Amino acid sequence: MDRFPTQNILSSLATARITPENEVPASQPKPLKRVVSGFALKELLAGKTQQTKRSDVSNSEYAKFVSQEVPRDEVSILNSVFSHLAYTFHKNPSNTEAMDAYNGIAFTIRDRLLKRLEDTDSHFISINAKRINYMSMEFLIGRTFDNAMLALGLRKEYSAVSNTLGFNLEDLIDEERDAALGNGGLGRLAACFVDSMACCNYNGWGYGLRYRYGMFQQQIINGYQVEAPDCWMDNPNPWEFPRPEISYKVKFYGNIAKTPSTSSGYTWENAVEYDVMAFDTPVPAFGTKNVGNIRLWSCKTNDLFDLNRFNAGDYPGATGNMVAADILTYVLYPNDNQNAGKELRLKQEYMFVSATIQDIIHRFKLTGKPWSEFHELVAIQLNDTHPTLGIAELQRILVDEEAMSWDAAWDIVTKSFAFTNHTILPEALEKWPVPMMGKILPRHLGIIFDINLFFLQHVEKSIPSEREFLSRISIIEESSPQQVRMAYLAIVGSHRVNGVAQIHSDIIKATIFSEFVKVFGSDKFVNVTNGVTTRRWVNQCNPGLSALITETVGDESWVDDYPKAHLLESRVNDEDFRKRWWDVKQANKLRLATYIKDTCGITVNHDALFDIQVKRIHEYKRQLMNILGVIHRYNTLKKMTPEQRQDQVHRVIIFAGKSASGYYIAKLIIKFINSVADVVNNDKDIGDVLKVVFIPDYCVSAAEVIVPASDISQHISTAGTEASGTSNMKFVMNGGLILGTVDGANVEIAEEVGDDQIFMFGVLAHEVDEFRFNLRYHPDPLDANLQAVYDTIKSGVFGNPDEFNPLVECSHGPGDNYLVSVDFASYLMAQDAVDALYKDRESWITKSILCGSRMGKFTSDRSITDYAENIWNIEPSAVDA
């Protein structure tokens, strides 16, 4: 039987070696204070485990067992599927439905991933490798089923097995729900990075939270976004592995008592405690036997059930503590428009970092190394500000629980942490009210005040400064109430701070973090341009294009060495190749047209130009400018004769993305897009010349259909507001052209593919402040085309004009913070240039091929290598090396 007993798999990840405290040298960390089940593989095989005596025979047999290769032939795979159907799901071929077949096959894939994960962890333990701990509130991993088959090189075999069961493999792939563990680019970047750490043979894990309902499932009702719970856990999840033996205490509330019994003189007392449990999700790697892992945290609630209250008839009281604990991981980014939401979000973040830091320390202690070597074995990367409390948490544990001096502990902290900044907007930098933090995390607030005090004292000594300078760099903002500036804490507590595109890194050094450059010097601030994994965003989502690249390169080595795709450029004048390239794009557009019909009920012509903007709905991303441009196009078409209309480039303009539940203007933009779509799509005069589509509930699996179908994609944020973007990279890798501003990674993409292959417009980042000033005090006359668009809105064509008046007000004049009115004229000119080029099919194909061939820089493999060399100081090591 081809199935591994799950009670032994991954055992090495959960082991503590319990040793009397007086046997541990003073220079080493104290022994662990908790007992965990399982055995460390290296100790088990050496017969050194102290929890239970194991015979040499059993150790030998286990070693032999775990060293066996898993059979890869179709017969063995089919037998293992039958085994899971029979003994895991109590099914036989006669009563197996599609979901059963998916689960049966998925569990056999999981068996193989867990075997590789066991081998990977054993390998890195054996060489005492440094580990990257990538902390992120989001991991937008999408579906795992197809990605895992491709990574294992078994898609052909599993396709045959599914046919034997009477199912089409593509249908089974659609049975999988997207994991609702993220929302936008931040989470997708984190997922790409864990994939690349595994594929590049680095010892790296992701850490996050296991959200029950995700952010929300987006429904569009009468044009409005309506939030519903995303019940993605309703069915068994083959890709997660519960680890009940790995749990940690996490505290909230209580008070701080001064006591001489601790080195710090303080203890955290009378706190509310929860047990937080680990769930592991293996991340398959292509081209190597390494497997990565994402460890997610969730509260254990059974022990919080009060049986005495239940028996007394107090049912709400009996379950109240369970609900309070469970709710911590209900939703990603709870609405923080009110105080209760803010408190919940702060508790989420601390629960996440506390369990993670404890787990990192637990694993470090297994090495037996002294604390002075902690940073040599541990790298902690903060993905944005959400995990920044980890800095205070590690300092707390070292000082309060490990009896370390403040300076020694702080030296360890600052050598271990690094911080990735993802925003240029000052208002987007996370802050927490001091009274709220003092209530929920009283000890951490005291530690943060001490960190700030020592930091400001250091600055005052090294750089004689005025009080205003110290106020500007203080972690504590002197407002009412005071606020803890989390980005500032991350900078002070990290040895490296990186931006995610060259223009972004330059801007943050010159603007929002300029004072810290004066304090720490420019060497602390580096750039690591984002990237995306070609495993998912070309090889998996675009099999037609993948076949062309494989044919050109000569093998599949490009999948984890994407710069080899530059060979496509050598075929740019090959007539047969050009035709096949065009046919692949048209087939992808037909697939998307089918998806739109099934999802939205709108019929679109796949021969039209597909113009796509899919991303989080936000004012700075300027979906509003896009839909205002659509109205201009609609007005122009309405003035034409039928013959003139048919001569125009036919367009399908596609939007997708979620607004934060409490973001009024963003939600109004969604309603406006749908109202315009209702009018345009039902106008018989317009017909197929122009269609507008809003695809609901945008997610990774939807993106896998949308991205390969793009002719042009819009990345039109106001210059200086987008840190990087990664969807722009995905679209261009798949042969799509960009319409964009000189912002984020657009700049570097233009440098790589050539200015002739990208449509750029708009003001530059250094001009933005001047234009904002002029809009407020010296406005120019409104562009005539934009005024005509406003007149159309006010006429009531798209519904009640009063409802959409806030959008008019925030897109011109003093309210136009994101310069929609300033850039509108150049935006229309860029759209005209797109139309003109699309009419010249041969020129368009040439540019499409050049775009796809020149994107080697923008892989997450390159990004991770940059992190490894410039920030983490870590070397790769393959399991089978």
Catalytic residues, by residue number, are 422, 615-616, 621, 726, 730
> Measured on CA atoms in the order 24, 29, 32, 37, is the torsion positive or negative?
negative
Supply the DSSP symbol for 695: E
Strands 204-209, 291-300: pairing is parallel
Peptide bond into 387 cis (omega under 30): no
Supply the DSSP symbol for 409: H
Q: In this structure, are residues 351 and 297 in contact, taking their beta carbons and an 8 Å threshold?
A: yes
Tokens standing for 284? 């398959």
What CA–CA distances, in Å, run from 262 to 247, 401, 442, 446?
25, 8, 17, 16
Helix (H, G, I), strand (E, B) or coil at 651: strand
Tokens standing for 807? 């959008």
Q: In this structure, are residues 211 and 326 in contact, taking their beta carbons and an 8 Å threshold?
A: no
Tokens standing for 149? 């088959």
Q: In this structure, are residues 748 and 501 in contact, taking their beta carbons and an 8 Å threshold?
A: yes
Note the helical H segments in 641-795.
642-646, 664-681, 700-706, 727-733, 746-753, 768-777, 784-794
Which amino acid belongs to residue 44?
Answer: L
C-alpha 682/C-alpha 670 separation (Å) is: 18
Cα 354 to chain centroid distance, Å, stands at 20
Strand order in the sheet with 651-656: 690-695, 651-656, 609-614, 712-715, 737-741, 758-761
Q: In this structure, are residues 674 and 656 in contact, taking their beta carbons and an 8 Å threshold?
A: no
Measured from the Cβ of residue 369, the count of other Cβ atoms closer than 10 Å reads 16
Residue with tokens 């293992």: 80
What CA–CA distances, in Å, run from 301 to 234, 305, 347?
19, 7, 16
Closest CA to 291 of 197, 198, 206: 198
Which amino acid belongs to residue 861?
Answer: D
Give me the residues paired with residue 251 across strands.
273
User: Which residues are within 8 A (CB) of 167 and not within 5 positions of it... i.e. 6 or more apart?
Assistant: 98, 101
Give me the residues paired with residue 515 across strands.
none
Closest CA to 436 of 349, 333, 353, 347: 347
Tokens standing for 86? 């029979």
CA torsion angle 869 872 873 874 (round to 10): -90
Tokens standing for 415? 């050598």
Q: Calculate ∠ Cα 284-286-287, nearest 5°.
A: 135
Q: In this structure, are residues 2 and 114 in contact, taking their beta carbons and an 8 Å threshold?
A: no
Query: Burial of 194 by CB count in 10 Å (0-12 exposed, 13-18 middle, 19+ buried)?
Result: buried
Phi then psi dihedrals of residue 634, to 5 deg: -60, -45
